[in-house]
Amino acid sequence: MVGTASELLEVTILSIYVSGMATILGSAIGIPLGALIGLKEFGGKGAVKTITYTLYGFPPVLSGLFIYYIFSRAGPLGEFGILFTPTAMILAETLLVIPLVTGITITSVVEVDKAIKDTVKALGATPKQSVLTVMREAWVGLVMACMVGFGRVIAEVGAAYLVGGNIDGKTRVLTTAIMLETRMGHFEWAMALGAVLLTVALVVFFFLRMLQEKEML
């Protein structure tokens, strides 16, 4: 039960670690994936985009269940013993980040002016160079994608609880702590935890915004 300052610090740091890593990992996959989907022509492109956007609504607890089934001892990858560790939480949250980052990246690169895409091609860029240059032009959108991804996972509780187990000192994060306190009727303390969570988000988004608005040279 959260009550001391050091416990509060513990859950806060773990929240940042788990959601931060999930955002980094999810963006590392989602941004290149989104750029490729947005810029390359291929059969079934429309269907892929629709599926990506549909996955925005993927319930976090379902992601948790999926990871549970894979990493449970009864499951295929059970022998790694990842269940009830922050790693499992990161994996479950990464699954939630990927569709969001991919989808927003798709939109961002598609929105880059066609004239820029043509100019880049005309200047002699290979297809790979073109994609990278367009991605750089879509910088604002790409940072936005990461922001939205982080926002989703710092706030989710279903997956974190299911694959983490809310173990005191090991896998308890702000959202699962809030759920615990709410369950026990400590509504005020739960709200206080919520305020801490929003503060964390505020700080992170502040830095991301600075990143987004930096002058490109």
Rounded-to-integer distance, Cα 55 and Cα 95, Å: 10
Is-contact 56 139, C-beta < 8 A? no
Q: What is the DSSP string of 161-180?
A: HHHHTT-TTTT--HHHHHHH
Site map (CB under 8 A) of other proteins, residues 52-91, x = contact = --------------------xxxx--xxxxxxxxxx--x-
Options 7, 8, 24, 211; binder of other proteins; rule CB under 8 A: 24
Nearer to other proteins, 44 or 183 (CB): 183
Is-contact 5 190, C-beta < 8 A? no
Q: How many CA atoms lie within 13 A of 62 on its CB side?
A: 6
Site map (CB under 8 A) of other proteins, residues 162-191, x = contact = ---xxxx-x------------xxxx-----
- Interface with other proteins (CB under 8 A): 1, 21, 24-25, 27-29, 31-32, 72-75, 78-87, 90, 113, 115-116, 118-127, 129, 132-133, 135-137, 139, 165-168, 170, 183-186, 215-217
